[in-house]
Amino acid sequence: MQVERDVTGQSDNDLPLEVIRRDVDMPVASTRRLRFRPRYLLVLLIPVFMFSGAVIGMYFQPPALQKFYALTGLQPGGGATTPIALPPEITLPKEMVETMQASDVVGLARLMPQGDVSVVAPPYGAGDARIAEILVAIGDKVQKGDVVARLDNQGQLESAALLAKANVAVRQAALVQTRAAVQNSLDEARAGVRQAESAAAEAKTQLQREAELFERGVTTQAAFDAAKAAARQADLAVQKAQATLARFASAEVDQQPDVIVATRNLEAAEADQARALNDLTRAAVLAPISGVVLDLHARAGERPPVAGIMDMGDTDHMMAEAEIYQDRIASVAIGQPVELVAGALGRTLQGKVQSIGLTVGRQGLVSDDTAANTDARVINVMIGLDASSSAIAARFTNLEVVARIDTRAKVTP
């Protein structure tokens, strides 16, 4: 069989690769030409259109997209590890929607007494004491310092106070006794000095008489020597009496060392008595503020709970703590009027912005929607209610309301 060879003289079997033969009449350039097709460009533009549509939809949220989120319960950004901080989902009452302006700032709020709710805790150092009796009921008005409850350690503390009082009485008697003893000793020392000086003067006179008699030869040497010895002993007795008197540094009895020691002992006993009387107050639970008893957390016989024995609040001056979304706080100013609405009230409450928080925190008040965003960043705004609104809100401490702040109102500095 004859093997075909190409123009170079090599056969097809000698080549390392398979030779694909083409018709001689087909142009070589036509086989290498790439044709441009419009559908290729469409494939490249599809991701761009999808991304742009997602961004525009998330920003403007057309009605169809809003219905989709409402139907599915999804929240934009809710699936991310750091969700988008959207404002709280708030369902506005109908009466508020009718009067609401585009410039108004709305946020969830809670009613609270002025200074917030005060927790009445047992006194410091009460230890393992239990509650003996509760002296107030929910709704009672009390003044600051009134006894609202008693603990069962009162008997023990009263015994300690009586013991301290008795110790003070003993120290007082000891001081009187010491003062009298020191006074008597001082008087005896002074009398001893006078007596010794008198005896010394008499001995000196007797010595002078014996000396004259001895010079005239009337008396003997022995009598003269005895007179000199008696005079010398009298002088020594004076020195001894003066030394005894010198032990008293001052003529004042209260300045004597023994009296000073007894006085200090009495002062220490009085200090112990004061401490015992102060400890006696640990048996009584006192009201920290003037206000109304809002709730009781314990009963007689129970140990005071960590949450406190009861809650109190100054409901005569009610306030509201609103959480305003961080992007809306720039429009809020102190003095702006605020309208508060809640279904439980049956009417609107009026107030003014009193203070604006300085820190951005996490949302604490959430709506009833379980799919609502709970990672919103908010700033607390304190709202003071007027007198009529405060009287109505006094019965609804911690009630959740909707606050609408009128940012158009002119605020006088």
Residue in 389, 388, 413 with CA at minimum distance from that of residue 401: 389
Task: Kindly state the average pLDDT of the residues 134-163.
Answer: 90
105 in the same domain as 175: no
Q: What is the per-residue pLDDT for 199?
A: 84
Task: Kindly state the average pLDDT of the residues 273-283.
Answer: 87
Predicted confidence (pLDDT) at residue 197 exceeds the cutoff of 90: no
263 in the same domain as 322: no
Spatial contact of 221 and 262, defined as CB atoms under 8 Å apart = no
Q: What are the pLDDT digits (tens) for 36-86?
A: 566 666 667 777 777 777 766 665 666 776 677 667 766 555 555 444 434
Q: What are the pLDDT digits (tens) for 280-318?
A: 888 889 999 999 999 999 888 888 888 889 999 999 999
Predicted confidence (pLDDT) at residue 268 exceeds the cutoff of 90: yes
pLDDT higher for 52 or 25?
A: 52
Instruction: Give burial (CB, 10 Å; 0-12/13-18/19+) of 286.
Output: middle
Residue 84 lies in a domain: no
The residue to which tokens 């009613």 are assigned: 111
Residue 31 lies in a domain: no
Partnered with residue 402 across adjacent β-strands are 108, 341
Residue in 226, 194, 233 with CA at minimum distance from that of residue 209: 226
320 in the same domain as 261: no
Q: What is the per-residue pLDDT for 344?
A: 78
Query: Which amino acid makes up residue 141?
Result: K
Residue 367 lies in a domain: yes
267 in the same domain as 319: no
Cα separations (Å) of 350 from 210, 337, 403? 117, 7, 10
- Residues with Cβ within 8 Å of 124's Cβ and at least 6 positions away in sequence, in order, are 282
pLDDT higher for 345 or 9?
A: 345
265 in the same domain as 176: yes
Q: What is the per-residue pLDDT for 147?
A: 92
Q: What is the per-residue pLDDT for 278?
A: 86
Residue in 147, 148, 153, 149 with CA at minimum distance from that of residue 130: 153
Comparing 31-40, 118-127, 156-165, 266-275, the range with the smallest average pLDDT is 31-40
Q: What is the per-residue pLDDT for 91?
A: 60
Q: What is the per-residue pLDDT for 250?
A: 62
Task: Kindly state the average pLDDT of the residues 10-22.
Answer: 51
Partnered with residue 101 across adjacent β-strands are none
Q: Work out the angle between the directed axes of helices 154-215 and 221-246 (0-180°, nearest 10).
A: 160
For residues 6 and 19, what is the distance between their CA atoms, to the nearest angstrom? 11
Cα separations (Å) of 131 from 46, 118, 151, 308? 74, 19, 4, 12
Predicted confidence (pLDDT) at residue 380 exceeds the cutoff of 60: yes
Q: What are the pLDDT digits (tens) for 96-130?
A: 665 667 778 888 899 999 988 999 988 887 777 88
Spatial contact of 324 and 331, defined as CB atoms under 8 Å apart = no
Last residue of a domain, one of 256, 280, 304: 280
Which pLDDT band, with edges at 50, 70 and 90, does 90 fall under?
low
Residue 379 lies in a domain: yes
98 in the same domain as 161: no
Query: Which amino acid makes up residue 2?
Result: Q
pLDDT higher for 178 or 249?
A: 178
Which pLDDT band, with edges at 50, 70 and 90, does 148 fall under?
very high
Give the number of other CB atoms < 10 A from CB of residue 306.
8
Domain residue limits at 252: 157-280
326 in the same domain as 249: no
Domain CATH code at residue 365: 2.40.30.170
Residue 386 lies in a domain: yes
For residues 351 and 331, what is the distance between their CA atoms, to the nearest angstrom? 17
Last residue of a domain, one of 221, 256, 280: 280
171 in the same domain as 105: no
pLDDT higher for 369 or 260?
A: 260
Q: What is the per-residue pLDDT for 86?
A: 41
Predicted confidence (pLDDT) at residue 163 exceeds the cutoff of 80: yes
Q: What is the per-residue pLDDT for 248?
A: 67
Comparing 154-168, 202-216, 312-326, 391-405, the range with the smallest average pLDDT is 202-216
What value does the mean pLDDT of the chain take?
Answer: 78
Q: What percent of the chain has pLDDT over 70?
A: 74
Q: What is the per-residue pLDDT for 29?
A: 46
Residue 285 lies in a domain: no
Residue in 160, 151, 122 with CA at minimum distance from that of residue 309: 122
How many domains does the chain fold into? 2
Residue in 290, 303, 317, 306 with CA at minimum distance from that of residue 148: 290
Q: What is the per-residue pLDDT for 319?
A: 92
State the pTM of this model.
Answer: 0.54
